[in-house]
Structure 1
Amino acid sequence: MNSTAPEASESVIIPVLHHVTLKTGRLQEMIDWYGTLVGMKPLYQFEGGAWMSNDRANHRIGLLATPDITDDPDFRIHNGMHHSAFEYDSMDELLLTWERLEKQGIVPHFTVDHGLTTSFYYVDPDGNSVELQYDNFGDWDKSSDFMRNSPLFAANPIGQPVSPRKMLAARRAGVDGAELQKRAYAGDYPPDEDDTFDGRFGKDAV
C-alpha cells in the first residue's frame, strides 16, 4: 500500500460493482435457489442473513432476514431494483444453464436477444428478477458501440423474444454460435406453446 497521502482530486474514481444485498423472509430458500441458479455458496450464514459468493470475492449476494419482512403484492409497479444480472463466457454456457435449470423446474419469465446480449430472466423465491446473459459480441467495447451507434438497436432497444429450446436444438444441429445469434436476432427462434414461462414477474417484462 502506498504510504504517501493522496492529493485532492475532482476526478471521478471508477469503482467495480461488488455485490447486491437483498432483504428476505425466505433465507434458506433463497440460499438454495441462488446456489442452484449460479453456484452461490454462503461464506457465512446466521439467523439474520448470509453472505454468498461464487468466486474469490468475500460476497456477491448478501441476504438480510428479519421476521418483519413481508411480501409486497404490488412490487412490480413500485420504484426499486428491476433485476440483477450474471454474464456467461459463451452462448453454449447460457444455453446449457437454461437446460439444466429447466430440468429442475426453474424456468425463465422472459427470454430475449437484446442485440448486444442474449438474456434469460428468472424469478427468485422472493419475486426478484435475475438475468443470465451472454455478450453477443464477446467484447464489451463492441457491444457498447452497438448500443450507442446501431440503428437496429435504436429501432428496437428491447430486442427479439427467443426460444432457448429452439436455439439449443439449432446449436446441436450444427449452427455455429455467431450464426445462431444472427438468426435469433432476426426472429428465427420465437417462443411458442412448447416453451414454458414463469409468470410471477410478467412474461413480457425485461
Structure 2
Amino acid sequence: MPHNRASARPVITPAFHHTTFLTTRLDAMVEWYGLVAGLTPTYYGEEAAWLTNDAANHRIAFLSPPGIKTPEDKGHTAGLHHTAFEYADFDQWLDNYVRLRGHEIVPFLTLDHGMTMSIYYQDPDGNGVEIQVDTFGDWSRSKEWMWASLEFAENPIGAHFDPDKLVEARESGLSFQEIHARARAGEYVPAIIPDIFLPEVY
C-alpha cells in the first residue's frame, strides 16, 4: 500500500516567537531595548520582564534571579552572537541609526550582507543586536538570492560600510538601491574594519 514516508522535519512548522536572556542588569536592559527597538514591557517585575514591540505577548524576556554569574570572555566564546530586528523601509532604518547616534548609541559592526544592510549594536550585557533592512524588500526574493547566488556563497559576511557615509549619500539624493550597490562595491568602507567578534564588556 502507498504510504507517506516519515520525515525528520515537522509537517507543520512552528513560528519563531521570542528569545530569553539571563541578566544582572534588568532595569538597564529594559530601558535599552525600549530605546533601540521600541520594546515595551507586557510585565515588568523585580526579577523578570517580558517585552514586545508587536502583536505578540512578548518577543524578548529577561530573567534576573539572584546568583547569576557574569560570563568570561563573552565575545570570543561559543553561544548566541545576536538577535535581529528588521525595518521594512530603508529610510526608517537609516533614521533609526541617526536617532540612536543622537543618544550616543553607536554600532560596533556594520555590514551589507547582500540580502540585508545590517547595523550591529551591543546591549548593556554585551549581547549583539542587529537592526536590518531587506535589500530586496521581499523575503522570497532575498531567500532565493541567498540560496542561489554565487556572490553570497563566495562572501557570506558581506561588505563593511560607514553608516555616516550612507547618511551623507542619502542627503545627496541617492536612492536606497544606489546606496546599496555602492556599499557592495566598497565605496563606503569605514576607516577601521572591525572583526565580527562581540567586544568584551565585562
- Aligned mates of 1:28, 1:121 — CA distance in 2: 21
Deviates more, 1:183-192 or 1:22-31: 183-192
What's the secondary structure of 2:51's corresponding residue? Answer: strand
What's the secondary structure of 2:21's corresponding residue? Answer: strand
Residue 13 of structure 2: aligned partner: 14
Residue 135 of structure 1: aligned partner: 134
Q: Which amino acid aligns with 1:128?
A: N
- Aligned mates of 1:114, 1:161 — CA distance in 2: 9
- Aligned mates of 2:93, 2:70 — CA distance in 1: 30
Q: Which amino acid aligns with 1:110?
A: L
- Aligned mates of 2:164, 2:68 — CA distance in 1: 37
- Aligned mates of 2:89, 2:109 — CA distance in 1: 19
Deviations 1:25-63 (A, max 9, x none): 100000000000011111111112001111121101111
Residue 91 of structure 2: aligned partner: 92
What's the secondary structure of 1:81's corresponding residue? Answer: coil
Deviations 1:105-131 (A, max 9, x none): 111110010011000000000000010
- Aligned mates of 2:78, 2:165 — CA distance in 1: 35
- Aligned mates of 1:108, 1:200 — CA distance in 2: 13
- Aligned mates of 2:111, 2:78 — CA distance in 1: 23
CA contact (8 A) 2:126 2:199 kept: no
- Aligned mates of 2:149, 2:44 — CA distance in 1: 46
Runs of 4+ that moved beyond 3 A: none
Task: Sort the Cα spacing of 1:127 and 1:54 in 2 relative to 1 into closer, same or farther, 3 A.
Answer: same
Deviates more, 1:145-154 or 1:16-25: 145-154
Residue 39 of structure 2: aligned partner: 40
1:93-112 correspondence to structure 2 within 5 Å = 93-112=92-111
Task: Calculate the TM-score normalised by the size of structure 1.
Answer: 0.87
Residue 188 of structure 2: aligned partner: 189
* Deviation of 1:200 (Å): 8.6
**Identity over aligned pairs, percent:** 45
Deviations 1:76-130 (A, max 9, x none): 2322211100000111111111111111111111001001100000000000001
Residue 125 of structure 1: aligned partner: 124
Say whether residues 1:170 and 2:169 are aligned partners.
yes
* Deviation of 1:152 (Å): 1.2
- Aligned mates of 2:23, 2:128 — CA distance in 1: 14
CA contact (8 A) 2:76 2:197 kept: no
Residue 3 of structure 2: aligned partner: none
What's the secondary structure of 1:76's corresponding residue? Answer: helix
CA contact (8 A) 1:27 1:49 kept: yes
Say whether residues 1:201 and 2:189 are aligned partners.
no
| Cα RMSD after superposing both structures | 2.1
Residue 70 of structure 1: aligned partner: 69
Task: Calculate the TM-score normalised by the size of structure 2.
Answer: 0.89
Gapped regions of structure 2 (runs ≥ 5) = 1-5
Deviates more, 1:23-32 or 1:9-18: 9-18
Aligned length: 192
Q: Which amino acid aligns with 1:55?
A: D
